[in-house]
Amino acid sequence: MNLFFTNIAYAESLDSFLTKVDNVIINPIIMLLFGLAALYFLWGVFDFIRNSDDEEKRTAGKMHMIYGLVGITIMMGVWTILSMLINTLEIKGIDPQKGTVKLEDYTPSPSQGFIPN
């Protein structure tokens, strides 16, 4: 028993866990947010057309359209920045469009642990 090195518990595979989290949680949330922003925009278009005689309701419809477009633009901007960052830093194994993560295996050696003086 070595008291100076911590025991490390490994999951089955970190990349399979990250892929599952990405596919099961993150991607559906992103698609839900895109859908909600599109619905909000379309609701604004519908309000704008339906209430063409009432200036106050037309203004509310315009604001809904603007907020929907802002939401879509922000999400697309984040996705674009993430892709640029991955490509600039040449990170291998992550594909945001497919939602896959493939990391290299990591096997720590005892020399990487804490060594007291």
Residue 100 · residue 21 · CB < 8 Å: no
pLDDT value for 117: 53
For 60-90, give the DSSP string: HHHHHHHHHHHHHHHHHHHHHHHHHHHHHTT
pLDDT value for 31: 84
pLDDT tens-place string over residues 30-81: 888 889 999 999 999 999 999 989 999 999 999 999 999 999 998 888 878 8
Classified as helix, coil or strand, 7 is: coil
Mean pLDDT lowest among 53-57, 87-91, 92-96, 112-116: 112-116
Residue 66 · residue 43 · CB < 8 Å: no
Tokens 């949680």: give the residue. Answer: 25
Residue ranges of domains in the chain: 34-104
72/101: higher pLDDT: 72
Distance (Å, rounded) from C-alpha 72 to C-alpha 61? 17
Q: 100 has which bridge partners?
A: 95
Average pLDDT of the chain, as a whole number: 77
